[in-house]
Structure 1
């Protein structure tokens, strides 16, 4: 009986650990960083790849843990977040803080081993996410613009890890993921509008799911597609994209744009969810196409 209890509590602790560090989101961020590394590297170092994966996970996990500590009272008000480890009472604030600070230190050390610039951008990412984006979420919809900055760092971070340098190439990768976040997060803000309202979060540009928000989503989707095919024109240094690669990315962008227009027409929760899923598909496939295009060219 005691061994059953022990295994249940271990499983529960593991689940809470995954939730406090938002494992799914953290892994997707690591995926972006690895894609950026593969684009920038001349010969792959599996040691650096491993350090980047762990360092990236530590940094994002730390940001998410700090976020859940700061927002614990607001999380308790929303259906989506009330069962998170802290508001549900399964994890103390002290435990969460130990995880957050440990991950911060481990992340900075791991990324510093790769090179100091990578650690610096990782530190900037944590600072912006926890100290600027998180407090602004209950004040202004401009929080999404601020949140897009740390959110755009991982793709770029991979290139910096590979080259120990910041230039037009990582700048372009940053811009792609920066613009992409607006249709992505605004679609989430749309279908979770009522729940976010309970916590006092302002996530949509006009403050509500209306035609104005839908227009801005379309605009930023267009910018995302434009920025995504810029490397085909040959002025982004070592970041190149073949005509075939650019055509595939453009087609993917058109799919996302179709869902953005659908949201404008229907202005429904279902349409917002479809756009969110298409945006995730877009950024994932874009990174795969960019990497495949480099190694198959």
Structure 2
């Protein structure tokens, strides 16, 4: 198997973003852990990165096995190794199971909650969200749950349990997922229709889909302020998060006003920037306070 095929199989860019989100949250959880004096265990951080990478790669692998027939129909996916015939489903399944088992073992070694959450994320993404994509736009809601689990998993790996900070990190990424999903779905709607995927709120590029996207982005504004509201994030992170959310909201409003693919593409790129900026500001705020 060529490296390029492996990269396509595991959706490397998506996997990298997931691992980045989890690793930042691990550092936050470690610094918030008073039992360890806020000391970061770098060995555990490495285990989280490797385990998170393998679990995410496995989920993407199972996703491509299930969608192999539909991937052949879309221009952006027809060159993936399974639909292109460079890899059999059996080979992909063995690889996926190996990554899932070893990745879950690594994450479960950190603590059982982290391990259980990783298994749950694989099952929900591969076997609930994936088949629902051709049934209803409710798939976006289902997909937003495993999509928002990485920061929760990372935080619990560092802190040991789920607390208020963990839930806030989950909430920010959960709400963000909707705008992120729908921006991508708007840009790729023509390709998605070839495979019968229904991801936009109304199933098509129209005012209502743009309006729903705009409304859900409004919710991101108060959600992004939660760390400051609950006093585990300072005003610095609150102001930066608020500015990012308002800029993100403006991009969403631009899509509502123009209904153009160009505006959706700008919103999509904005979503890629929004999350790491907000998460990094949260981390820097913890570092600055010496927590």
Q: Distance in 2 between matches of 1:77 and 1:167?
A: 44
Look up the match of 2:15: 26
Following TM superposition, by how much is the alpha carbon of 1:228 offset from its aligned partner in structure 2, in angstroms? 1.3
Structure 1 residue ranges, 4+ long, deviating more than 3 angstroms after superposition: none
Please, which runs of 5 or more residues in structure 2 have no aligned partner?
A: 31-37
Following TM superposition, by how much is the alpha carbon of 1:163 offset from its aligned partner in structure 2, in angstroms? 1.7
RMSD of aligned Cα (Å): 1.0
Correspondences of 1:195-274 after superposition (within 5 Å)? 195-234=191-230, 240-274=232-266
Look up the match of 1:38: 27
* Alignment deviations for residues 88-125 of structure 1 (CA, whole Å, 9 cap, x no partner): 11111111111110011011110011111100000000
The number of residue pairs the alignment matches comes to 282
Q: Distance in 1 between matches of 2:170 and 2:227?
A: 13
Match of 1:76 among 61, 72, 87: 72
Q: Distance in 2 between matches of 1:245 and 1:126?
A: 31
1:61 aligned onto 2:50: no
User: Structure 1 stretch 119-128 or stretch 221-230: which is displaced more?
Assistant: 221-230
Following TM superposition, by how much is the alpha carbon of 1:234 offset from its aligned partner in structure 2, in angstroms? 2.3
Look up the match of 1:89: 85
Look up the match of 1:7: none
User: Structure 1 stretch 164-173 or stretch 144-153: which is displaced more?
Assistant: 164-173
1:103 aligned onto 2:99: yes
1:296 aligned onto 2:288: yes
Q: Distance in 1 between matches of 2:212 and 2:29?
A: 32
Following TM superposition, by how much is the alpha carbon of 1:167 offset from its aligned partner in structure 2, in angstroms? 2.1
Output the TM-score relative to the length of structure 2. 0.95
Output the TM-score relative to the length of structure 1. 0.93
Q: Distance in 1 between matches of 2:288 and 2:71?
A: 46
Q: Distance in 1 between matches of 2:130 and 2:173?
A: 19
Correspondences of 1:47-58 after superposition (within 5 Å)? 47-58=43-54
Following TM superposition, by how much is the alpha carbon of 1:225 offset from its aligned partner in structure 2, in angstroms? 2.2
* Alignment deviations for residues 45-82 of structure 1 (CA, whole Å, 9 cap, x no partner): 01110000011001110000000000000000011111
1:123 aligned onto 2:123: no
Look up the match of 1:5: none
Following TM superposition, by how much is the alpha carbon of 1:186 offset from its aligned partner in structure 2, in angstroms? 0.2
SS at match of 1:47: helix
Q: Distance in 1 between matches of 2:59 and 2:215?
A: 29
